[in-house]
Structure 1
Amino acid sequence: MKQRVITAVVALAIFIPLIVYGGLPLTIAALLLGIIALDEILIMKKMLLVSFEAIVSNLGVILLILPDNWLNFLPDGLNRMFLFYVLVVLILLHTVIRKARFTFDDAGVLTLAMLYIGMGFHYFVTARADSLVTLLYAMLIVWLTDSGAYMLGKQFGKHKLSPKISPNKTWEGSVGGTIAATVILAVYLWFFPVQYGWIVMILVTFILSIFGQFGDLIESSLKRFYGVKDSGKILPGHGGILDRFDSMLIVMPMLHLLGIV
């Protein structure tokens, strides 16, 4: 517990100034976090971080995270998604060169990982570019849902939510976390409006809280598949970057889908 607290304090001391300041420092931080998160998946798959597939995958996640205005220099017809497609083709060609050592399944996992992590951190940066209020709104959804689910689940949880994926999560905790986040953020939205009217944003909060929990379960499923307890060890007592940003990687793109950023 002491280690968890120390790590949390140090992480927040670094992270909070970054999200408040935004701009280039936050973008660089997002790029570093994205690379580390992707490398956690590579390590789970027991792939070398200096291998061809690792280097191309890291380039892919960097490309997807970059803010849109950083790529304005590209000529017409050569956009972000076409460049990403080129990188995916390189990974697919690697299945031919390496044959049995690097399979089509491996290529599929890395492509999904690049999209999952890259788009998540891209819209994290985009949310801050919209405003600090918007980014804090999204982050509070994740934090309040997670905290509410943990506390209420521990107190009242009886029915397992997904025992084969995450045995400690309960329906009571899940529902309680979403309700807690929605109620508290209704107050936040009253004083700090985001995009739509107050009533609509309460509904949006409810939806995003649910999707955030799906993000948590997705990452739990990933770890269960590879037989690991944590995605990494970079945050002592808290696991890896994927462990800390799993819900946000789903919530942030949902902000875009719902027309908020």
Structure 2
Amino acid sequence: MKQRIITGIIAGSAFLACTVIGGPWYQGLLIVLSLIGYYEFARMNHFQWWNITSLLGFAGVIYFVFPWEGFDVSVEPMWMWLLMFLFLTITVLSKNRIDIDRIAVMFLGAVYVGVGFQAMITTRYTPDDHGLFWTFLLFGCIWASDSGAYFTGRAFGRTKLWPSISPNKTIEGAFGGVVISVVIALLFAWYAPELLPFGKAVGIGIVAAVVGQLGDLIQSAYKRIRGIKDSGNFLPGHGGVLDRCDSWLIVFPFVQLLMLLPHA
């Protein structure tokens, strides 16, 4: 527990500092985290990092996460198709030693990790120049949902939410997480009503909590299938990057998909 607390304080402080500073510090940190996350994903699927399939996946993650616009490089959607094509080509070159099922999983991982971290960078640099506000709003709702679900579940949890995937989660805890997430969102709306109307705050709080908890269950389900407890050991006492960022990778893209944040 002591190691977990110390690691959490150090890692959390560094992450918050880079988020506030922004620029290359924030972008660079998320690029590094995304590559570590995909490394964990590849290892979970029994691929060495230097395998051609893994290397192609790393390239895909860089394609999604790297801030190309700063170098006047236009990123076209067809490049994703090219990434898929190259993945499929591996099945031919390997004579099906690496079959379509494994290729599909690795392509999915590149999209899952890459788009998730890319959405975090996009949120930090929203066109209204209030990206730090929106970033802290989403992180605040996610962390509030996690904490609210944990403590509410411990105090009032009786009905299992999804015992075959995550035996400790309860419906009461999940509901408590949603409530606390909405409260945090409303506090952000109270602080800056000109940016965030109260009705929109409620919507973001609900979405962040529900989708964030689903992201946690997605990672739990995947780890259970693979027979592992943690995706990695990057953060002693906390597991790997994917363990810590599972909700982030789902919430940030989903909120942007619903166009709940300022967009170009």
Letter in 1 for 2:56: V
Conserved? CA contact 1:71–1:80, under 8 Å: no
Q: 2:78: which partner in 1?
A: 82
Report sequence identity in percent.
Answer: 36
Task: Give per-residue Cα distances to partners, 1:207-256, cap 9 Å, x unaligned.
Answer: 22111111111111110111100011111110000110100111101221
* 3-state DSSP of counterpart to 1:161: strand
Conserved? CA contact 1:212–1:250, under 8 Å: yes
Alignment of structure 1 residues 1-261 onto 2, 5 Å: 1-67=1-67, 69-70=69-70, 72-74=72-74, 79-130=75-126, 131-193=131-193, 195-259=195-259, 260-261=261-262
* Higher deviation after alignment, 140-149 or 185-194: 185-194
Letter in 2 for 1:123: A
- Determine the C-alpha separation between the residues in 2 that align with 1:99 and 1:168: 44
* 3-state DSSP of counterpart to 1:99: coil
- Determine the C-alpha separation between the residues in 2 that align with 1:109 and 1:5: 34
Q: 1:68: Cα distance to partner?
A: 5.7
Conserved? CA contact 1:23–1:129, under 8 Å: no
Q: 1:80: Cα distance to partner?
A: 3.5
TM-score for the superposition, normalised by structure 1: 0.94
Runs of 4+ in 1 over 6 A off after TM superposition: none
Q: 1:71: Cα distance to partner?
A: 6.1
Structure 2, unaligned stretches of length 5 or more?
none
* 3-state DSSP of counterpart to 2:78: helix
Q: 1:125: Cα distance to partner?
A: 0.5
Letter in 2 for 1:126: T
- Determine the C-alpha separation between the residues in 2 that align with 1:98 and 1:70: 37
Q: 1:83: Cα distance to partner?
A: 2.0
TM-score for the superposition, normalised by structure 2: 0.93
Assess, with a 3 A threshold, how the Cα gap between structure 1 residues 195 and 117 changes in structure 2: closer, same or farther.
Answer: farther
Assess, with a 3 A threshold, how the Cα gap between structure 1 residues 194 and 85 changes in structure 2: closer, same or farther.
Answer: farther
Structure 1, unaligned stretches of length 5 or more?
none
Task: Give per-residue Cα distances to partners, 1:116-154, cap 9 Å, x unaligned.
Answer: 111110110111112111000000111000000001101
Task: Give per-residue Cα distances to partners, 1:67-114, cap 9 Å, x unaligned.
Answer: 36246334xxxx342223222211111111213421101111011111
* 3-state DSSP of counterpart to 1:40: helix
- Determine the C-alpha separation between the residues in 2 that align with 1:85 and 1:18: 33
Letter in 2 for 1:89: F
Question: What is the number of residues matched between the two proteins?
Answer: 257
* 3-state DSSP of counterpart to 2:94: helix
Q: 1:193: Cα distance to partner?
A: 4.1
* 3-state DSSP of counterpart to 1:183: helix
Task: Give per-residue Cα distances to partners, 1:159-189, cap 9 Å, x unaligned.
Answer: 1101111111000100001101112321222
- Determine the C-alpha separation between the residues in 2 that align with 1:44 and 1:64: 21
* 3-state DSSP of counterpart to 2:77: helix
Assess, with a 3 A threshold, how the Cα gap between structure 1 residues 99 and 80 changes in structure 2: closer, same or farther.
Answer: same
- Determine the C-alpha separation between the residues in 2 that align with 1:166 and 1:88: 32
Conserved? CA contact 1:161–1:171, under 8 Å: yes
